[in-house]
Chain A
Amino acid sequence: MNLTAIIFSFVFVILALFLSNAFKLGLGKDIIITCVRATIQLFIVGYILKFVFGFDHPFVIILMLLIMILVAAKNAAKRGREIPYAFWKIFLTIAVVEIITQGFLLGLKIVPAEPQYIISISGMIIGNSMIIANLFLNRLKAEIEMRREEIDLVLSLGGSVKQSIFPILKQSIRASLIPTIEGQKTIGLVQLPGMMTGQIIAGADPIQAVKFQLLIVFLIMSAATLTAIILGFLIYPSLFNKEQQLEVF
């Protein structure tokens, strides 16, 4: 894409703005902010990636991954402000998921150990884990608010903290995974996944792109499951105090 093409792509922004105005949707400001942010963020990321790939040093890659996980954890922790150490527990979860998935990918030589692969796949894993953590915490909060009496009931009968929260934990883990699983069911039928589209546009063989996309689908599925389960088990003890009473939410 040359510079003129990029400039012309702003036509679409103007179209969106025009429609928002014409139908008084009141989204003009948000559209502008989103587009400006996207432009700046993506360009910065592009230059950073160029720099990191040029460096090709493990330390730089690990630093880059750490920053990505930090940002993701900070974002997801907004959902769990009431929970003590929520940020660190989410950080730990995403880090563990990243280590496990990269461990398999690199250990079994599924992908080459090159910065392009590591960073872009990690980006997808970490971003997805962030969304799962968000969904999980949201659901957990709603379930607890709804089923508080059940928790007290189990505690009152001499049940442990874990026994009292387990059905709710399970429900929240399940619920947070449903969008991922549902979303993958129609993959390719309606919409080609972004990465596959990109590869095809960049000239890759469609079958090659499909193979790679499949890897990503499977990866995201297990990363999502890992995230919800690990986070669930890290989070639940901090919902109770030492007298085994539900204290958060």
Chain B
Amino acid sequence: MKNTEIELHNIRKAFADGSKKVPVLNGISAKIEKGTLLTIVGPSGSGKSTILSLCNLLQTPDDGEIYVNKQEVRKWNVQELRRYVGIAFQSAPMTKGTVLENLSLPLKLRGETLENPETYLEYVGLSAELLSREAKELSGGQRQRLSLARTLVNNSSVLLLDEVTSALDTKASQGIEELIQRINKERSVTILWVTHDLSQAERVGDETWLIKDGQLVEGAPTKQFFSEPQDERTKDFLNLLRSSL
């Protein structure tokens, strides 16, 4: 039984660069079924982060429609949509204030308090001693973990993860991978995970996309994507990265 969570319908997006418009996404169409763990790979600047930000209306496509849970994003109540589709940003931004304040921000915005902050820190492998520390003073890796934990607080049905382990070592990354896979399997949360780490994309994904030059070059079940890529550009992309290792 198919149950679509996200559908992209011929999405186009360009950004203004001075007076001229630079196209970033050139007509992307795809469906993501509920409970899928999708990994998204592609060269830097190919539009991966842009795709994520369109899914919870932090940006609006110039053309095309995006359906979340069968409803076009612009028809959603914006705040409800952004709680339904949570995002962990590539830059792991923090607000002024402590780790606790940052972690409980999603609930504070609704006038609620977070009962079990330690549990969330534990999920991402951070010590509870950090709770009273200034969040902006954390290391890059710690910020990345805190940012992910904060996103989890909203209990979203869809998670958009943008390079959430890029500042972590192998062991820490694997901890995060296990966490995300558990959330995906146990709560059947749909996950769109952008990563530049190909082995990670292969390890954790059910499905994988290659985004290149603003196009969805190839989208396939992860095993097949890596073992028998169909598109020449996918083969080139995989070969190039593998040979550089």
Contact assessment for A153 and B109 in the assembled complex, using a CB-CB cutoff below 8 Å: no
Query: Which chain A residues border B59 with CB–CB below 8 Å?
Result: 245
Query: Which chain B residues border A154 with CB–CB below 8 Å?
Result: 95, 105, 109
Contact assessment for B105 and A155 in the assembled complex, using a CB-CB cutoff below 8 Å: no
Query: Which chain B residues border A149 with CB–CB below 8 Å?
Result: 89, 91, 93
* A112 at the binding interface (Cβ < 8 Å): no
Contact assessment for B93 and A150 in the assembled complex, using a CB-CB cutoff below 8 Å: yes
* A194 at the binding interface (Cβ < 8 Å): no
* A243 at the binding interface (Cβ < 8 Å): yes
- Of residues 97 through 120 on chain B, the ones whose CB sits less than 8 Å from some CB of chain A are 105-106, 109-110
Query: Which chain B residues border A152 with CB–CB below 8 Å?
Result: 58, 89, 93
Contact assessment for B80 and A158 in the assembled complex, using a CB-CB cutoff below 8 Å: yes
* B79 at the binding interface (Cβ < 8 Å): yes
* B215 at the binding interface (Cβ < 8 Å): no
Contact assessment for A153 and B83 in the assembled complex, using a CB-CB cutoff below 8 Å: no
Q: Which of B89, B95, B96, B110 contacts A156 (CB 8 A)?
A: B89
B147, closest chain A residue (CB): A153
How far, in Å, is A123 (CB) from chain B's closest CB? 39
Q: Which of B74, B96, B109 contacts A158 (CB 8 A)?
A: B109
| A154→B105 CA distance, assembly (Å) | 8
* A157 at the binding interface (Cβ < 8 Å): yes
| A142→B216 CA distance, assembly (Å) | 37
Contact assessment for A158 and B91 in the assembled complex, using a CB-CB cutoff below 8 Å: no
| Interface Cβ pair total, 8 Å cutoff | 58
Q: Which of B56, B57, B74, B95 contacts A153 (CB 8 A)?
A: B95
| A245→B79 CA distance, assembly (Å) | 11
Contact assessment for B60 and A157 in the assembled complex, using a CB-CB cutoff below 8 Å: no
Contact assessment for B87 and A156 in the assembled complex, using a CB-CB cutoff below 8 Å: yes
Q: Which of B60, B83, B87, B150 contacts A243 (CB 8 A)?
A: B60
Contact assessment for A158 and B57 in the assembled complex, using a CB-CB cutoff below 8 Å: no
B81, closest chain A residue (CB): A158
- Of residues 200 through 249 on chain A, the ones whose CB sits less than 8 Å from some CB of chain B are 243-245
* A39 at the binding interface (Cβ < 8 Å): no
Contact assessment for A244 and B89 in the assembled complex, using a CB-CB cutoff below 8 Å: no
- Assuming A155-B82, A158-B79, is B95 touching A243 (CB within 8 A)? no
Contact assessment for A158 and B110 in the assembled complex, using a CB-CB cutoff below 8 Å: yes
* B179 at the binding interface (Cβ < 8 Å): no
| A201→B87 CA distance, assembly (Å) | 67
- Assuming A149-B89, A243-B60, A245-B59, is B95 touching A158 (CB within 8 A)? no
If A157-B151, A243-B60 are given as contacts, then 11 extra A-B residue pairs at C-beta distance below 8 Å, sorted by A number, are A149-B89, A150-B95, A155-B58, A156-B86, A156-B87, A157-B154, A158-B79, A158-B109, A158-B110, A159-B79, A244-B79
Interface residues of A (CB under 8 A from B): 149-150, 152-160, 163, 167, 243-245
Of the A-B pairs whose beta carbons lie under 8 Å apart in the complex, a sample of 10, sorted by A's number, is: A153-B95, A156-B89, A157-B106, A157-B109, A157-B150, A158-B79, A158-B110, A163-B109, A244-B79, A245-B59
* Pairs of residues from A and B, 7 with the lowest C-beta to C-beta distance, nearest first: A149-B93, A158-B83, A159-B109, A157-B106, A158-B82, A244-B78, A158-B79
Interface residues of B (CB under 8 A from A): 56-60, 74, 78-80, 82-83, 86-87, 89, 91, 93, 95-96, 105-106, 109-110, 150-151, 154
